[in-house]
Structure 1
Amino acid sequence: MSRRGAATDRHGTADRVVVADRIVTATGADGPGWIALGGGRVIDAGDGPTPTGDLMHLPLERLRGVVVPGFVDQHVHGALGVDFGGADEAGARRAAAHHHRAGSTRLVASVATASSQATLRALGVLAPLVDEGVLDGVHLEGPWLSSTRRGAHDPALLRSPEPAEVEALLDAARGTVRLVTIAPELPGAVDAIRLLVDRGVVVALGHSDCTAAEAHAAADAGATVVTHVYNGMRPLHHREPGLAGAALTDDRLAVELILDGRHVSRDAVEIARRASSGRLVLVSDAMAATGWSDGRYTIAGSEVVVEHGVAMLADGSSLAGSTGTVGEGVSRLVREHGVALPEAVRASSTTAATALGLTGAGLDPGDRADLVVLDEHDRVDRVLRDGRWL
């Protein structure tokens, strides 16, 4: 049954149809189906083994595997030896292309703590790529973070938010900053949250030693995301649950989770998944060694050593991002945690898109022609982005 019913409608003209034994969409379709594509968009979609009406005469492409929406990674620092915070245009394109090929068809490039000058330079490189559609925005993870829960961020570069600096960075970004992580307990942080929200920026709470009450107050001020739950915050405690406790109980907050098998234990993953049902967002937090090699790197002004794919500060005091992808997290969620694929679709695409205000991420008519084909092991097999196979 068609959801639209014609080869040509208000979304454009279809030029081909992909068919699969199982298609899982953001709006709950799950079973045999087809998707008519044209001009980089989904023109029509329907259930059953074959399209109907005018679509029957279009070229058919039968896909092996399960089709799901392209993943949305809202927290990704780089790949292939490239860090978005220090990349030139060519390097940023290479890093983005790596994640696109891995299934993350929508990316928000994360820029870690740096001097104002270095951050402005990064914005100058990345903003045109957002305008072009290579990236879907920039994420500023710092410098307005807690030195107590800094992770890999250089404490000498951390500072409290000043309105003039916040405004200057947003102005330089020309509307391309989509997400900012901030520690709400810092002096001036709540005012900065209100300012960011007023400027159309999504605010995340993270790298914070705040209390649960401070986190809830930040949500009152407009914060709607928690950056990589458990990591970069005080441990959950039954008398003072902190940011982690607020993340798991405040329905206003989308909850990022790094599911790389290292950042969060299996039981802690299950606590987050069950407590924040419908609010969970898989992120990679991928750093420059992703898809590259072990060795020494610099992240947020700190020296990092990557061994066997694990990124640690050189002094061994903290993990320093991951070397995985959202697609690998999807496979773990389904294979190791027994999560049904529709829930994995929400965690890998739908919830992030909603939290970020991104449209067209669900494989329904009018959406972008972004899809991932998963193999029999729930691993990424093929990726279609903007209607083109990568």
Structure 2
Amino acid sequence: MGVTLIAERLFDGERILSEIAVTVGDSGIISSVGGGVSSSAERLPGLLVPGFIDIQVNGGGGVLFNQDPTVSALQKISEAHRQFGTSAFLPTLITDSLPVMQRAADAVSEAISSDVPGVTGIHFEGPHLSEAKKGTHEQGFIRHLSDDELSLYAREDLGIRLVTLAPECVAVSDIRKLVSLGVHVCLGHSNACADTVEAALDAGATGFTHLYNAMSPLHSREPGMVGTALIRDDAWCGLIADGHHVSPGAMALALKAKPRGKLLLVTDAMSLVGSDEISFPLFDRVVTREGDKLTSSTGELAGSHLDMIGAVRNICDWCGVELQEALRMASLYPAQFIGLGSGIITEGARADMVLLDEGLQVSRTWSQGREVFRRH
């Protein structure tokens, strides 16, 4: 049967249209855009845009995935982020023990099979990282890739699988193996030289996790990971546009250097997003929020308090990015990176959509055709 909505304005991923109908089938796929509509169709005031896709979500709603790797936790994280326009996300587990990784994988598998809104896979950020660039990750859990982790990453019941690793810590042959298993390999938390980074990209790695942060910097005689990320036109880069992880000037440089379509907005959000709490434990430390900045008791940044619509507004306000391009950075480009059939409102795409008001606040969110958030 499906449902038809009439958008006052619609950004379909390419252009803005006025007074346009969108029909969603029972399968959660868009069956048509445009065409005749009945007078009973619901009218949507504001701007209807593709749903946001966040490939790096550590937590939300007072829950950190590492501390509670369960389906109920994923439901709370989903509820926290969909109020900010996130219609699909990769729950992200930072460096931890193998049993915790396995429980997280089981939770994601169950969440996908039981249709928890937005859960489309899993992002393992570590544990195969550089201790020199570990950031807030727990050093005691950092380790080399073993057959146990390979077996975990090979699980096809996990949906979209993404692994962040340091290329100096994982053999090129193992990167090829991961890619052959259908894993998206991102490079990050690394002190690698440019040649090592290039070799990993040539072996099939396709992206960089939180550009600039926890990676070897650009120098005049050694491009490092940052320089290589900016140089390689074929690689995607995640960008935490919160003003703490990356300055507006560094964001502007990345926008100039990277081809259009290769910069993605991510949040790296922690448990405090969507909650009133101001601190939480992280392993043997405490993370505290001051304003929208999260700092560990040992001094380093510890994830972010950013949400996706906030990232869209920031990249527009600070870097002069046009709204349509900022929306693509939050939807179409991450969809293309991970191979998700969304990020655009067109026939045959997933019905992941967000309704924005004139102040670029989220009014409603749909995930695979289901309305999962409505602001009252």
Report the TM-score when normalising by structure 2. Answer: 0.92
Distance 2:283 2:217 in 1: 23
Map of 1:176 onto structure 2: 159
1:264-323 Cα offsets, whole Å, 9 max, x none, are 10100111122113201000100111122444423466542333332112121x101001
Map of 2:49 onto structure 1: 68
Q: Is the 8 A contact 2:108 2:158 kept in 1?
A: no
Map of 2:65 onto structure 1: 84
Distance 2:181 2:358 in 1: 44
Distance 2:283 2:31 in 1: 43
Distance 1:385 1:74 in 2: 15
Distance 2:264 2:115 in 1: 22
Distance 1:268 1:274 in 2: 10
Map of 1:44 onto structure 2: 32
Map of 1:7 onto structure 2: none
**1:25 aligned onto 2:9:** no
Superposition pairs for residues 1-390 of structure 1, below 5 Å?
14-20=2-8, 22-26=9-13, 28-32=14-18, 33-39=20-26, 40-46=28-34, 51-52=35-36, 56-57=37-38, 59-87=40-68, 88-134=70-116, 135-162=119-146, 164-171=147-154, 174-176=157-159, 178-186=161-169, 188-276=170-258, 277-299=260-282, 302-316=285-299, 318-389=300-371, 390=373
Q: Is the 8 A contact 1:194 1:221 kept in 2?
A: yes
Q: Is the 8 A contact 2:7 2:47 kept in 1?
A: no
What SS does the aligned partner of 2:124 have?
strand
**Gapped regions of structure 1 (runs ≥ 5):** 1-12
What SS does the aligned partner of 2:86 have?
coil
RMSD: 1.9
CA displacement at 1:326 relative to structure 2: 1.2
1:140-187 Cα offsets, whole Å, 9 max, x none, are 00100111111110111111223x13323225674435100000011x
CA displacement at 1:324 relative to structure 2: 1.3
What SS does the aligned partner of 2:273 have?
coil
Distance 1:16 1:293 in 2: 36
Distance 1:190 1:133 in 2: 36
What SS does the aligned partner of 2:348 have?
coil
CA displacement at 1:79 relative to structure 2: 0.6
CA displacement at 1:67 relative to structure 2: 1.5
Q: Is the 8 A contact 2:33 2:347 kept in 1?
A: yes
263-272 vs 352-361, which moves further: 352-361
172-181 vs 278-287, which moves further: 172-181
What SS does the aligned partner of 1:336 have?
helix
1:97-155 Cα offsets, whole Å, 9 max, x none, are 21122111011100010011121122122221123343100000010011111111011
Distance 1:335 1:31 in 2: 23
Give structure 1 regions of 4+ aligned residues with deviation exceeding 6 angstroms: none
Q: Is the 8 A contact 1:360 1:366 kept in 2?
A: no
**Gapped regions of structure 2 (runs ≥ 5):** none
Distance 1:308 1:184 in 2: 35
Q: Is the 8 A contact 1:153 1:302 kept in 2?
A: no
Distance 2:347 2:208 in 1: 31
Q: 1:177 to 1:67 in 2, by over 3 A?
A: closer
One-letter amino acid of the counterpart of residue 17, structure 2: G
Distance 1:250 1:82 in 2: 36
Distance 1:304 1:83 in 2: 12
Q: 1:202 to 1:292 in 2, by over 3 A?
A: same
Distance 1:97 1:379 in 2: 16
What SS does the aligned partner of 2:81 have?
helix
One-letter amino acid of the counterpart of residue 152, structure 1: T
Residue identity (%) = 35
